[in-house]
């Protein structure tokens, strides 16, 4: 299935960009006329994915984070968040609730939140090369007012 619209954003792994990324995703998703709840879910999931890049992918340096947003005809929003950071040695373990390498400043719930707020989540990672997260959410169609 080909996307009906697409944007790609690349930004530095600064924590100030967490707010930028989720707001940009919400603005792009607005084309699908989402409910407020759907917008909030998308913003939260994006925030988790981007925060992971900032905290874990580039722990001691700044790197680049790429976010690609796509819309499909069936009202699906696809969000890809990619870094070229340290990678995750064991993705399955990292996805488990409460697992974190970030100490008690992190809750270990990032992937759990992404999973529960989106319809599906794929994580690909190669240690030393980086991590790509792809998540999809179908936005409900609403009758015009």
Partner 1 sequence: MPISCVEEKQVLTVRLTGEVDHHAAKGLMAALAEEIDTALPRQLELDMSGVTFMDSSGIAVVLRSWKRMRELGGAMVLRAVPPYAVKVLKAAGVDKLIEIK
d(CA 135, CA 77): 8
Angle subtended at Cα 42 by Cα 101 and Cα 31, rounded to the nearest 5 degrees: 150
- In the set 31, 35, 116, 140, which binds partner 1 (CB under 8 A)? 116
Binding of partner 1 by 18 (CB under 8 A): yes
Binding of partner 1 by 101 (CB under 8 A): no
Q: Which is nearer to partner 1, 69 or 118 (CB)?
A: 118
67-106: burial string, b at 16+ Cβ within 10 Å, e else: bbbbbbeebbbbbbbbbbbbbbeeeeebbeeebbeeeeee
> To the nearest whole angstrom, how small is the minimum distance from the Cβ of residue 19 to partner 1?
6
What residue spans of 30-68 are helical by DSSP H? 36-52
Size of the site for partner 1 (CB under 8 A): 27
Binding of partner 1 by 110 (CB under 8 A): yes
> To the nearest whole angstrom, how small is the minimum distance from the Cβ of residue 109 to partner 1?
4
How far is residue 91 from each of residues 111, 123, 124, 131, measured CA to CA in Å? Answer: 10, 7, 8, 10
Binding of partner 1 by 56 (CB under 8 A): no
Q: Of the listed 68, 106, 136, 138, which one is catalytic?
A: 106
> To the nearest whole angstrom, how small is the minimum distance from the Cβ of residue 74 to partner 1?
25
In 3D, which of 135, 1, 3 has the Cα closest to residue 78? Answer: 135
Binding of partner 1 by 85 (CB under 8 A): no
d(CA 81, CA 105): 22
Q: List residues with catalytic annotation.
A: 48, 52, 106
| Site residues (vs partner 1, CB under 8 A) | 15-16, 18-19, 22, 37, 40-41, 43-44, 47-48, 51, 54-55, 97, 104-110, 112-113, 116-117
């Amino acid at each position: 299935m080909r996307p009906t619209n697409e944007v790609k954003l690349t930004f530095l792994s600064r924590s100030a960009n967490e707010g930028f990324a989720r707001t940009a995703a919400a603005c792009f998703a607005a084309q699908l006329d989402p409910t407020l709840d759907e917008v909030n879910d998308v913003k939260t999931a994006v925030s988790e994915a981007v925060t992971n890049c900032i905290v874990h992918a580039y722990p001691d340096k700044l790197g680049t984070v790429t976010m690609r947003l796509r819309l499909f005809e069936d009202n699906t929003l696809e969000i890809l968040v990619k870094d070229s950071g340290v990678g995750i040695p064991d993705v399955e373990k990292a996805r488990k609730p409460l697992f974190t390498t970030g100490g008690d400043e992190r809750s270990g719930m990032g992937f759990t939140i992404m999973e529960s707020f989106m319809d599906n989540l794929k994580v690909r990672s190669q240690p030393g090369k980086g991590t790509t997260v792809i998540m999809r959410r179908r936005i409900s169609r609403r009758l015009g007012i």
